[in-house]
Amino acid sequence: MKLPLVPLLTTLALLALLPDRAAARQPNLILIMADDLGYRDLGCYGHPSIKTPVLDRLAAEGIRLTGFHSGATVCTPSRMALLTGAYPTRVGWEQGVVGFLMGKNDGMSSEALTIAEIFHSEGYATGISGKWHIGNQPDTAPMAQGFESAYFLTMSNNQTKQLWRGDEIAEDPFQNRLLTERLTVEAIRFVRANKERPFFLYLPYTAPHFPVQAHPDWKGKSGFGEYGDVVEEMDARIGDLLKTVAELGLEKDTLVVFCSDNGPNPGEKADSQPFRGEKWSALEGGTRVPCIVTWPGVIPAGQESDALFSAMDLLPTLCKACGIDWKSKTGGKPVIDGYDAWDTLLGEPGPHPRQELLFWQGRDAEPQAIQMGDWKLFFDRRNALEGVGTKRMTKEQAEKIAPYRVGLKAKGGNPPFLFNVRDDVGETLDLSGEYPEKIAEMQARAKAVMAGIKADGILAISSPGE
C-alpha cells in the first residue's frame, strides 16, 4: 500500500501526545546508521581504544540500548526491516544483498510502506544522504520510497563508484576515503534547507564498511589502525551535524537515533565481544549492535536498557514519538512486525512489548533461530557452530563449543541448539537436552510466525524445520 506523497494535517489528538513545547511543531527526526559496526566499537559500549566522544555524549544524554538487534545479518534485508518495520521476507527479500546473490530486478517491493512515506504524508521534509542498497530499479529508488531529497549510493562502497543526487550521477568515481565527509556535508545542507519545517533525515553512512580507508585528516589518529580512524571520523562528523542542529536552535526539537545495520564483516578489525558471530550469522554478534536514542528534555538522560529490541521497532516507536498514527497509514496491509516501545525509551514502568524475535542468515529467507524471552533456539545446530559468520570468537568461546563440533561430525544429524542468552551471552552452552518442552514451544511459535508471513507477506516462504 503506497501513500500519496502529499502533506496531511496532524490531528490535535495526536499532537497531544507530544511534549508541550512541540505543540506548534512536530519534532525533527535524525536516523543515523553505521555500516558493519560491531557491538563494542564505540567508547560507550566498551571499546578500549576507539574514541567516540560525540556518541558517548549522546548515550549519556539519552538511552543506550544493549539488547538492540538489527533487522537482519546483512545490508539489504537489514535496511528493508529498518525502513518498513517488517521482517524483510514480508516485503520482498529472498536472499543475499543487492549486487550479490540477488537478481538485477530484485529488491524491496514497491508496495512496501516506508517510514519516509509515512513522515512525508504528515508534512515532513524527508531526505537521505548515504547508502541505499535496497533496490536498483526506479520503483525501489529513494525518490519512489518517500524521500524528497536523495544523495546516495545504490549499493555498498565496494560495489559501486557512483554517487547519485536524485536521478543524476553526482560523482563518478567518488573517493571512498572522502565519503563520510561528503555524506555529512549533504546532511547538513538538508537540515539548513528545511529548518523552518519538521524534517526526517536518514543518514546511512558507508563507514566502516570495507574497503576501510581513512580520510587524510584522520589517518593514523585513532591508535586502532585505519578501522579506528574511520570510526572516529564518523563520530566527529556526527558532531558537526549535531552542532548545526544546535546552532539553528533545533536541538530540543530533534530526536536522534544511532545504530548499525548488522555486526562486523568477516576479516575486519571490528569488535563484537562479548558475543560470538559476525555479519551473515544469526548468532548475537551478527545482529546485536549499538543503538543510542536521545531527545533532550523528553528521553531521560543516563538510561540503559537490555530489553529485546529490533530495528523493526523503530518505525512504530518513532511514529509514536512524533505524534503520527502509523496504523492509519497501513490499513492492516502491509503488516508491521515492529512494536511501539516508546514507553521503554521514556523509562516508564510496565512490560516491554517485544518478547520474541526471528533471526535470519543472510543467504536466504529461511529463519535460523528464534528468541523468546531469554531463550534462543537454533533450529539446526550447524548454523550455530559451522554456518556462515560463526568464526569470530575468543579462544575461550572456541574451546567451549569445540565438543559440540566434534559431536556434530561424529554423530551426524542436526538437532536444535538451545541457549539462554542472558546467562550465556556467547552462546556456548547447549541446553537442548534439559528443556525439550521449551524447544517444542519455540518451534511451534516460529512456525506460527512464518505461517503469518507466508499468508500476509509479498513473498511465500516455507516454515522452519523441526
Q: What angle do CA 371, 377, 381 make, to 5 degrees?
A: 145
Please state whether the peptide bond connecting residue 274 to the residue before it is cis, i.e. omega within 30 degrees of 0. Answer: yes
Considering 120, 133, 209, 215, which one is annotated as catalytic? 133
Considering 47, 69, 75, 319, which one is annotated as catalytic? 75
DSSP, res 350: S
Question: Side chain identity at 70, as an amino acid letter?
Answer: S
Instruction: Label the pairing between strands 291-294 and 63-65.
Output: antiparallel
DSSP, res 267: T
DSSP codes joined into one string, 141-154: SGGGTT-SEEEEES
Contact present, 61 and 296 (Cβ < 8 Å): yes
Contact present, 439 and 418 (Cβ < 8 Å): yes
Annotation marks residue 69 as catalytic: no
C-alpha cell at 444: 511451534
Q: Who contacts 440 (Cβ-Cβ below 8 Å, separation ≥6)?
A: none
Please report the sign of the dihedral spanned by the C-alpha atoms of residue 129, residue 134, residue 139, residue 145.
negative
3-state secondary structure 405-421: HHHHHHHCCCCCEEEEC
- What CA–CA distance (Å, rounded) separates 114 from 81? 9
Estimate the share of the chain in helix, then strand, then coil, as percent rounded to the nearest 5.
Answer: 35, 15, 50
Q: Which residues pair with 107 in a beta bridge?
A: 135
Q: How many helices (H) and strands (E) does the chain have?
A: 13, 16
Residue whose cell numbers read 571490528 = 270
Contact present, 377 and 418 (Cβ < 8 Å): yes
C-alpha cell at 180: 563520510
Contact present, 319 and 79 (Cβ < 8 Å): no
Residue whose cell numbers read 499532537 = 15
Annotation marks residue 259 as catalytic: no
SS3 state at 122: coil
- What CA–CA distance (Å, rounded) separates 74 from 70? 9
- What CA–CA distance (Å, rounded) separates 68 from 37? 13
Q: For residue 394, how many other CB atoms are within 10 A of its CB?
A: 13
- What CA–CA distance (Å, rounded) separates 363 from 388? 9
Candidates 418, 360, 419, 358; CA nearest to 388 is 360
- What CA–CA distance (Å, rounded) separates 147 from 166? 9
Active-site residue numbers? 75, 133
